[in-house]
Amino acid sequence: MIGLVMAGGKGTRMDAKEEKLLLQYKKPVVIHVIDALKSSNCFSKIMAATSDNSPNTQSLLQNNGIETIKTKGDGYVSDLNAALSYLHELTLVVSGDLPLLDGGIIKDLVASYDGGAWQSFLVTKKFLDDMNMMLEFSVNHDNKECYYTGISIVDPKKISSTNTIKETYRIIDDKRLALNLNTKRDYDLLKGA
């Protein structure tokens, strides 16, 4: 299995002077994600999708031995589709801005893979409200309002077109998946975590 870190976004909602994935939480946030993938011992290779939006992040990743796939930086979905077109084995896709990830939760996610073409991991709105957190993209699953965490397991061999994918879901209400750095408020929550 490949671990693919999405690391090519602009981070405009963060309104920071530096690239979002380079924000410090003891070390650059993207390195927390890389270290979580490494410590899980679940991956034959760890890679990152980068773009011209994040040249310093790309340099940091390459200096840490992470192979990068250059995308156009047109948005998460188009960058992900471009990166997946290069991959031919089962892939755990993770956003590069999940600083609380650790090897244990990654192992749990991989162990729960259902064998489908695309399995996304969700948290419930209730959990987010209880934790005073917000995420952006919602879906109704099991009669619950849920939000995408930015983590999926994808089998590129089972995908002919992203328009016809049967996506499955698993709810895991865990702050390691829920704290996604999209805004300054999220970064303030991280510093208090």
The residues with which 28 forms a beta bridge, in sequence order, are 24
pLDDT value at residue 71: 92
Angle among Cα 89, 173, 10 to the nearest 5 degrees reads: 60
Instruction: Count how many residues are written for the chain.
Output: 193
- Phi, psi dihedral angles at 163 (to 5 degrees): -80, -20
Question: 21 vs 70, which has greater pLDDT?
Answer: 70
Q: In whole angstroms, what is the distance from residue 141 CA to residue 145 CA?
A: 7
**DSSP β-ladder status, 91-95 and 144-154:** antiparallel
Report the pLDDT averaged over residues 142-168: 86
CATH of residue 81: 3.90.550.10
Report the pLDDT averaged over residues 21-25: 75
**What CA–CA distances, in Å, run from 22 to 82, 153, 167?**
23, 25, 31
**Total domain count for the chain?**
1
pLDDT value at residue 192: 60
Question: 61 vs 81, which has greater pLDDT?
Answer: 61
Q: What is the mean pLDDT of the chain?
A: 87
Report the pLDDT averaged over residues 110-120: 95
pLDDT value at residue 23: 74
- The whole model's pTM is what? 0.89
Instruction: Write out the residue range of the structural domain in which residue 76 sits.
Output: 2-192
Two tokens, residue 76 = 């998460």
